[in-house]
């Protein structure tokens, strides 16, 4: 049996875990830059908890709260500048995947004088500042992955950078921060996590250990998506969502994503669709495609989700995700396919697609015009 496995992040979970483990922050230094989005962390208690913990430990802090959804290069360079000016010792990211990924890039830019191209080429010489992740959505798994996904206008798409120093040193998973998260973001992000585990399972780099985590999280997410009542999601269910999404993050930290994420990026860039929703729109048809070569493994995914066949998986996704009326023009689709085929992780898919297969997945996903 040959495999490798890597998860260097210390994980703390449960209500009030930031407060209970504030001493962990003190070990990272005396000055922190908090990187977060415009409003949610101020309303859901996460920012207040972090400030209380930092004060308790005598750590000075500043707040950079300018991170937009699907963060762009300009934002992370501004954040990097702030971290330099205050001579931050470490970065605390609070929010969904957007602030967490931005915080990772800020941690790199705080200590490196590099150009945008060098950031995207992972060409930096000084290790990023230590980074603490406090997720307030249960989807991206960014708290346990070595990836930061940035929107790059010159390339007209989203680009994922990876680095050992982009793993969080610490992460705190507190489901209370998600108690008021609306159904749409809850479902979109849960489907993002589901697609991480599925893409990690149907992957040439999958191992016995990543498979175990993938099937566990597919099982939990499948059950949650089938049973959660949009207006009554309990704290226990929020905690399960966070846990399953963290497991899925550990899976893609080993394997990377592939077809579904590669197809989701242009849908987000050009059509402004939330990341998880974009993935969810092509997930069923991507499974149909991979099933042609890997019926047994796709069968395991279906079974873990608590479904009888792929049609039921498709019905579940349709039920939980918002209905999007979108048809790509032929020219758009051609442009998308060109970008998708250049995505580096596509070669890790259990069945590697050609251009015509991507076209077919768009068609089966009802996104092709004609």
In DSSP terms, 171 is beta-bridged to 11, 133
Contact positions toward Fe ion, by CB under 5 A?
192
- Residue 18, judged by CB atoms within 10 A of its CB (0-12, 13-18, 19+), counts as buried
3-state secondary structure of 328: strand
- Residue 152, judged by CB atoms within 10 A of its CB (0-12, 13-18, 19+), counts as middle
Which residue, 45 or 306, is less far from ligand NAP as judged by CB? 45
Nearest-CB residue for Fe ion: 192
The least CB distance from residue 224 to ligand NAP, in Å, is 16
Q: What is the DSSP secondary structure assignment for residue 96, as one 8-state letter?
A: S
The least CB distance from residue 26 to Fe ion, in Å, is 32
Q: Which of 89, 48, 241, 67 is nearest to 149 (CA)?
A: 67
Interaction partner, residue 292 (ligand NAP, Fe ion, none; CB < 5-8 Å by kind):
none
Which residue, 41 or 255, is less far from ligand NAP as judged by CB? 41
Contact positions toward ligand NAP, by CB under 6 A?
37-41, 44, 69-70, 95-99, 101, 136-137, 139-142, 145, 147-149, 158, 177-178, 180-181, 185, 189, 192, 275-276
Which residue, 80 or 146, is less far from Fe ion as judged by CB? 146
- Concatenated DSSP letters for 144-196? G-SEEEEEETTTTEEEEEE-GGGS-SEEEE-GGGGTT--HHHHHHHHHHHHHH
CA atoms within 13 A on the CB side of 176: 15
Which residue, 93 or 353, is less far from ligand NAP as judged by CB? 93
Which residue, 82 or 158, is less far from ligand NAP as judged by CB? 158
Q: Calculate the CA 287 to chain-centre distance.
A: 20
The least CB distance from residue 14 to ligand NAP, in Å, is 16
- Concatenated DSSP letters for 22-88? THHHHTT-SEEEEEEESSHHHHSSHHHHHHHHHHHTT-EEEEEEEEPSS-BHHHHHHHHHHHHHTT-
- Distance, in Å, from the CA atom of 248 to the CA atom of 257, rounded to the nearest integer, reads 10
The least CB distance from residue 68 to Fe ion, in Å, is 17
Exposed e or buried b for every residue in 226-236, given b needs 16+ CB within 10 A? eebeeeebeee
The least CB distance from residue 151 to ligand NAP, in Å, is 7
Which residue, 24 or 151, is less far from ligand NAP as judged by CB? 151
Sheet with strand 31-37: strands edge to edge: 10-13, 170-173, 131-135, 90-95, 31-37, 60-67
The least CB distance from residue 202 to Fe ion, in Å, is 15
Interaction partner, residue 93 (ligand NAP, Fe ion, none; CB < 5-8 Å by kind):
none
- Distance, in Å, from the CA atom of 78 to the CA atom of 322, rounded to the nearest integer, reads 34
Interaction partner, residue 96 (ligand NAP, Fe ion, none; CB < 5-8 Å by kind):
ligand NAP
Interaction partner, residue 210 (ligand NAP, Fe ion, none; CB < 5-8 Å by kind):
none
Which residue, 192 or 288, is less far from Fe ion as judged by CB? 192
The least CB distance from residue 246 to ligand NAP, in Å, is 11
Which residue, 171 or 310, is less far from ligand NAP as judged by CB? 171
Interaction partner, residue 245 (Fe ion, ligand NAP, none; CB < 5-8 Å by kind):
none
- Helix or strand holding residue 134 (H, E): strand 131-135
The least CB distance from residue 67 to ligand NAP, in Å, is 7
Interaction partner, residue 180 (ligand NAP, Fe ion, none; CB < 5-8 Å by kind):
ligand NAP
């Amino acid at each position: 049996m040959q495999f490798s496995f890597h998860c260097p992040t210390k994980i703390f979970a449960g209500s009030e875990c930031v407060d209970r483990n504030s001493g962990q922050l003190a070990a990272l230094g005396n000055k922190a830059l908090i990187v977060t989005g415009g409003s949610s962390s101020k309303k859901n208690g996460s920012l207040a908890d972090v400030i209380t913990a930092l004060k308790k430990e005598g750590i000075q802090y500043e707040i950079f709260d300018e991170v937009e959804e699907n963060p762009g290069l300009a934002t992370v360079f501004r954040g990097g500048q702030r971290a330099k000016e205050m001579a931050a010792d470490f970065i605390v990211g609070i929010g969904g995947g957007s602030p967490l990924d931005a915080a990772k890039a800020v941690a790199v830019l705080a200590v490196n004088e590099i150009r945008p191209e060098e950031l995207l080429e992972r060409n930096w010489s000084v290790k990023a500042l230590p980074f603490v992740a406090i997720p307030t959505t249960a989807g991206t798994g960014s708290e346990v992955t070595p990836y930061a996904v940035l929107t790059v206008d010159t390339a007209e798409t989203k680009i994922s950078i990876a680095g050992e120093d982009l793993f969080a040193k610490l992460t705190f998973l507190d489901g209370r921060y998600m108690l008021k998260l609306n159904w749409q973001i809850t479902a979109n992000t849960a489907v993002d996590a589901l697609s991480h585990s599925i893409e990690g399972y149907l992957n040439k780099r999958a191992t016995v250990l990543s498979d175990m985590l993938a099937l566990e999280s597919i099982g939990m997410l499948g059950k949650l998506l089938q049973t959660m009542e949009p207006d009554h999601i309990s704290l226990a269910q929020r905690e399960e969502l966070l846990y399953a999404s963290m497991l899925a993050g550990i899976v893609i930290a080993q394997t990377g994503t592939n077809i579904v994420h590669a197809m989701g990026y242009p849908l987000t860039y050009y059509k402004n669709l939330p990341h998880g929703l974009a993935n969810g729109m092509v997930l069923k048809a991507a499974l149909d495609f991979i099933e042609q070569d890997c019926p047994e493994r796709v069968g395991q995914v279906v079974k873990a989700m608590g479904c009888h066949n792929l049609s039921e998986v498709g019905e579940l996704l349709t039920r939980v995700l918002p209905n999007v009326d979108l048809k790509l023009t032929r020219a758009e689709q051609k442009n998308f396919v060109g970008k998708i085929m250049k995505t580096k992780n596509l070669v890790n898919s259990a069945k590697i697609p050609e251009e015509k297969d991507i076209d077919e997945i768009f068609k089966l996903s009802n996104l092709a015009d004609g």
